[in-house]
Structure 1
Amino acid sequence: MGTEFLKIKEADEAKEIIKNLFDELYPQKSINIPIEDSHDQVIFKDIDALMDLPPFNRSLMDGYAVKAEDTFGATDEAPKILKCIDSIEAGSFSEKTVKNRECIEISTGAPIPNGSDAIVMVEFTDRENENEKYDNIYILKSVAPNQDVALQGSDIKKDMLLLKEKTIISPDKIGVLAGQGIKEVEVFKKPKIGVISTGNELVMENESIEYGKIYDVNSYSIKNAAISNGAEGVSKGIVKDNYHELKTKIENSLKDSDIVVCSGGTSAGVGDVLRNVLEDIGEVILHGISVKPGKPTIIGKVGKKIVIGLPGNPVSALIIFYVFIIPNIRRIAGKPGESNAKVNVTLSKRIHSPKGRMHYSLVHIKEDLAYPIIKDSGAITSLAHADGYIKIPKNVELLDEGEKVTVTLFK
């Protein structure tokens, strides 16, 4: 076993198989979390307002609460004189009612007292006696009804739609929730992705490197690609090309992960054992996709969870993860759209593509031009320079300089 591919699937057919498997095994779920922990989470269902905002008529300025009619005709030369009967700070209120030719001193944010319907800004008033708390106030400018008053419910009415489902919670949205006194919010439960790198040649970044060894790349790129698209990503470390080690690592990872992603160990070669492991502890659903790069991709099922085998080459692994896996992760996590943003740009030079296979080619974007990155799929600098990738259909052998192409961005 493990010496040949199963029947290779075309890209579109493989996408459909993978999507159906995700839909079968991973229905969308929700979890309630404190709003202080909700940044970048996705709202699971519509949230309605619990109360009016503002919850009372409030002053927008420091000044005096008045009956607007008492100010009509007021000027610097002919001020209106009102008796100040009380003072209100923000957070307090007055039990007094404003009558004709009366006013109440008020601070920004304080509730408008009964009987008043407008605010005269303090800049347009004079006091008869600055040393007296309650004295005559000279009104130097007329105001209209409701001037500088935020009416109850003028921002949000109780029971109106506050935040729509699938809204990504940002700092301003957290402020909206807090303003309603909401302590917890129901959000999409993030799928937990366990990431395993396989290969005798791999070492961790904190280990010394010897001749013939390379540092692990895929654990970091795949984990963070999962995180940036709505999942929790957890690195499960490196495993040698050893059947028993890989089997144990996958079984242990499945205990606390919803999905396990392995990179390496997928080709039909002597040192590649992932297919054998999956056949023994579960089943192989798909092995081999007619794409470049990434042909030896494996999709397996163990119990009610998916195990994904990506190619070991970093470029191949990341492209396959973005094209075939991330749209499904985003759907589970409630993230809007199926993938990262796309831009339409012009190709700076021609690209030759292998006929008969869907081809995904890395590009760098500069000044609305897409520059192809022509390096092998193990070249780390390809990832450093790439802004995204373009898709070349299997029946296209050449994209010429100057053609318009659509780039799927990595960010």
Structure 2
Amino acid sequence: MGTEYLKIKEAKEAKKIIDNLFNELYKIKCEEILLENSYYRITYDNIKSSIAIPPFNKSLKDGFAVKAKDTFGASDDNPKTFKIIDTVEAGSFSEKTLKNGEAIEISTGAPVPKGSDAIAMVEYSEKVQDGPESEVAIYKSVSPSQDIAKKGSDIEKNKPLISAKTKLSPVKIGVLSAQGLNKVKVYKKLEISVISTGNELLTQEDTINYGKIYDINTNTIKNSVISCGCEAKVQGIIKDNYNKLRNKIETSLKTSDIVITSGGTSAGVGDVLKDVIEDIGEVIIHGISIKPGKPTLIGKVNGKLVIGLPGNPVGAIIVFNVFIAPNLRKLVGLNPAAKNKKIRVKLSKRIHSSKGRVQYLLIEIKDNKAYPILKDSGAINALSYAEGYIKVPKSVELIDADEIVEAYLF
């Protein structure tokens, strides 16, 4: 077993290496999926309208289709009377052409008949005779185009509809449904296996025993992966056992694009990930000069990445957000920089940093100030109210209270 870090890198160098590995090993891909399964997927191409919406002149009200000029002067005291020559409901249409003095009874959403240019609302109309010679009295004049939605007034044919790299919300899916689309081309998701390692870990279904802790990283990393637009495949907890870990990684790589583990990355006698990756592939990075997050391992196996995050939850989430998330987001069509919104705020109190290593400090934002959460990197409670982090360069040992810092929000 290894007893020291083999390939420790400065933060800037490590980020460049990791970015280059993603560019080398992974290409942006697309796939065509059913529209009904497209919720929150990212569009790959610009989408144009294939039909006009509405696809015909449509009545906006229940009433009577008429020629507007025939209603001029209509009032309660002087109604205009029209011969009803047909009835049309939504989903059907009339083949008749309206002439002067004629009306066609119409429902909301139905196509406006030929010869008509306005709708007289049912509220201002009254049938005065039923049967074959039915008539309607209209008590209020209407203007041309009144209560008619013109063909293409909502969406014109062959016009831009939805841009590429758009997240498909329920409303946007509704717009595509109105176009009669059954399938849509989207960015293909990366499939990422998530493994937690450690003899001390228990699932949430287990009973807690002395010396044991519940696994935090599986759910934290799984949902971080999902937030980057990728598919997370939980592979469970693996003990610190060389053969079991090797078997699980090799099996996971057959069905996944990337494997992310947590724990087992340090230089201690019980940490076996380095040995596994050395035997089945290549260790590219073993250790990054940051705090927290130093025990990070980046390996390559059969043209795929194996990413070993630190076992402590704070270090794991910092490394994921800083070094891994931007690359995942880019590959699935999301803005690489959007995951962590950057703001400038005052620091609430003086902080001291470890010179020689880039330090990431969790923070809480209150009253437009950044309050450092000064707990060790394994402190679980820090995650519950952390809203982001600040980055302290390795050359900086002290930042005074009220200094302006850049905060990266989760």
Residue in structure 1 matched with residue 357 of structure 2 by the alignment = 357
Whole-Å Cα distance in 2 between the matches of residues 121 and 291 of structure 1? 72
**Secondary structure at 2:186 match in 1:** strand
The answer on whether the counterparts of 1:285 and 1:299 sit within 8 Å (CA) in structure 2 is yes
Alpha-carbon shift at residue 40 of structure 1 (Å): 0.8
**TM-score normalised to the size of structure 2?**
0.95
Comparing 366-375 with 222-231, greater Cα deviation is found at 366-375
Matched, 1:377 2:348: no
Quote the offset at 1:333 in angstroms: 1.2
1:114 equivalent in structure 2: 114
State whether residues 274 and 283 of structure 2, in contact with CA within 8 Å, keep that contact through their aligned partners in structure 1. Answer: yes
Report 1:205-216 matches (<5 A). 205-216=204-215
Counterpart Cα distance in 2 of 1:80 and 1:345? 70
Map of 1:154-169 to 2, 5 A cutoff?
154-169=153-168
Asked if structure 2 preserves the Cα contact closer than 8 Å seen for 1:285 and 1:301, the reply is yes
Aligned to 1:324: 323
Please, what is the CA RMSD of the aligned residues?
1.7
Q: What is the Cα deviation at residue 134 of structure 1?
A: 5.5
**Per-residue CA shift, 1:334-367, capped at 9, x if unaligned?**
1134323334433322222222222111112234
Aligned length, in residue pairs: 409
> How do 1:10-409 and structure 2 match up within 5 A?
10-129=10-129, 131-132=130-131, 135-338=134-337, 339-409=339-409
**Comparing 308-317 and 338-347, the one that deviates more:** 338-347
CA distance in 2: counterparts of 1:75 and 1:350, whole angstroms: 79
Task: State the AA in 2 paired with 1:345.
Answer: V
Q: Does structure 2 conserve the Cα–Cα contact (< 8 Å) formed by 1:359 and 1:394? A: yes
Q: Which amino acid aligns with 2:409?
A: L
Relative to structure 1, is the Cα distance of residues 118 and 313 closer, same or farther in structure 2, using a 3 angstrom cutoff? same
> How far, CA to CA, are the matches of 2:139 and 2:402 in structure 1?
69
- 2:384 maps to amino acid: A
1:216-263 deviation digits (Å, cap 9, x = unpaired): 111110011101110111111112222222111111111111100111
Structure 1 contact 86–134 (Cα < 8 Å) conserved: no
SS in 1 for 2:318: helix
Structure 2 CA distance for partners of 1:7 and 1:75, relative to 1, 3 Å: same
Q: Give the whole-Å Cα distance in 2 for the aligned partners of 1:227 and 1:77.
A: 68
Q: Counterpart amino acid of 2:366?
A: K
Residues 317-326 or 242-251, more deviating: 242-251
Q: Distance in 1 between matches of 2:301 and 2:373?
A: 37
What amino acid is the match of 1:83? K
Q: Report the Cα distance in structure 2 between the residues aligned to 1:92 and 1:179, rounded to whole angstroms.
A: 18
Aligned partners of 1:251 and 1:62: how far apart in 2? 66
Q: Tell me the CA shift for residue 132 of structure 1.
A: 4.8
Q: 2:57 & 2:203 partners in 1: Cα distance?
A: 62
| Alpha-carbon displacement from aligned partner over 1:60-116 (angstroms, at most 9, x marks no partner) | 111111112212233333332222211111111111111111111111100000001
Q: Deviations over 1:319-339 (max 9, x none)?
A: 101110011111111113432
Which deviates the most, 194-203 or 351-360?
351-360
SS in 1 for 2:184: strand
- Deviation of 1:179 after TM superposition, in Å, equals 0.7
SS of the residue corresponding to residue 278 of structure 2 reads: helix
Counterpart secondary structure, 1:378: coil
C-alpha separation between the residues in 2 aligned to 1:77 and 1:357? Answer: 90
Change (3 A) 1:62 1:337: farther
Is the contact made by 2:7 and 2:284 (CA closer than 8 Å) also made in structure 1? no
Query: SS of 1:222's equivalent?
Result: helix
Q: Which moved more, 1:5-14 or 1:100-109?
A: 5-14
Residue 7 of structure 1: how far off its partner (Å): 4.0
Q: 2:80, 2:138 within 8 Å by CA — same for their partners in 1? A: yes
Residue identity opposite 1:173 in structure 2: K
Give the Cα–Cα distance (whole angstroms) in 2 for the partners of residues 322 and 125 of structure 1: 65
The 3-state SS of whatever aligns with 2:95 is coil
Identity of matched residues, %: 60
Q: In 1, are the aligned partners of 2:325 and 2:336 still within 8 Å (CA)? A: no
Amino acid at match of 1:121: M
Shift of 1:5: 2.0
The answer as to whether partners of 2:345 and 2:370 remain within 8 angstroms in 1 is yes
Structure 1 CA distance, aligned partners of 2:155 and 2:95? 26
CA distance in 2, matches of 1:41, 1:272: 38
The whole-number CA distance in structure 2 between the counterparts of 1:404 and 1:74 is 71
Matched AA of 1:393: P
Rounded Cα–Cα distance in structure 2 between residues aligned with 1:120 and 1:352: 77
Q: 1:165 is matched by which residue type in structure 2?
A: A
Q: Secondary structure in 2 aligned to 1:128?
A: strand
87-96 or 67-76, larger mean C-alpha shift: 67-76
Displacement after TM superposition at 1:133 (Å): 7.4
Shift of 1:368: 2.7
Compute the displacement of 1:290 (Å). Answer: 1.8
Change (3 A) 1:65 1:340: farther
Quickly say closer, same or farther: Cα 1:294–1:81, change in 2 above 3 A: same
For the 8 Å contact 2:286–2:295, the answer to whether it is kept is yes
